[in-house]
Amino acid sequence: MAESRTDGEPAGSRTLDDAERSYVDDARRTAFILYEGRQVPHRSCGIALAETFGLPTRPYQALRRGGITGEGACGAIRAGEHVLGELLGDPDPTGKVTDALRAAITWYQAQAQARIDRGGAPDIVCNNLTRPLGEFTGPRRMAFCTALAAEVAAITAEALVRFAPAAQRPPVTQVVPEVAR
């Protein structure tokens, strides 16, 4: 079962092994590079998450800046849920929520609540998270969102490690820095 290991230890609380920690660290680093835009062209938060896990990016464009308007939930946080849905959900459109997806989303949402720096915002609405940081295209907001996207990628990767069979986990995209522009 996806929620526990054979030794009875709950999947959501066990210590990760070195390979699992490496997978999580690789996801964090890849999303950071993709969002930051210094080594490669900048990706929006949702697209950075999708690309980190090798998923088609087109539908993730709608998550940019909290659903385009800034009035929706943080695109990175939503993207993490979408990644888990794509990878752990039932491919049958009439199928029920899989046990693995239910466990992963439950764990992911609790971890996002506990681990993501909201910078004092009362919720995860994009504008509420970013407004205190000044201009949306400014360096303070960019640094905040870069760190947030990287942490979301790490939480997403950790959920995959904890709740998906190894064969169901995609490799983390290896980013090749471009020649200095």
pLDDT digits (tens, 9 = 90+) for 128-157: 999 999 888 899 999 999 999 999 999 999
User: In the chain, count of helices (H) and strands (E)?
Assistant: 7, 0
DSSP tag of 9: -
Three-class secondary structure of residue 73 per DSSP: strand
Q: Indicate the residue type of 20.
A: E
Nearest 10 degrees: CA dihedral of 162, 164, 168, 170? -30
Reported as a single tens digit per residue, the pLDDT across 14-72 is: 999 999 999 999 999 999 999 999 999 999 999 999 999 999 999 999 999 888 999 99
Domain range list for the chain: 18-166
Quick check: pTM over 0.85? yes
The rounded distance, in Å, linking the Cα atoms of 35 and 42 is: 5
Place of tokens 């997403």: 156
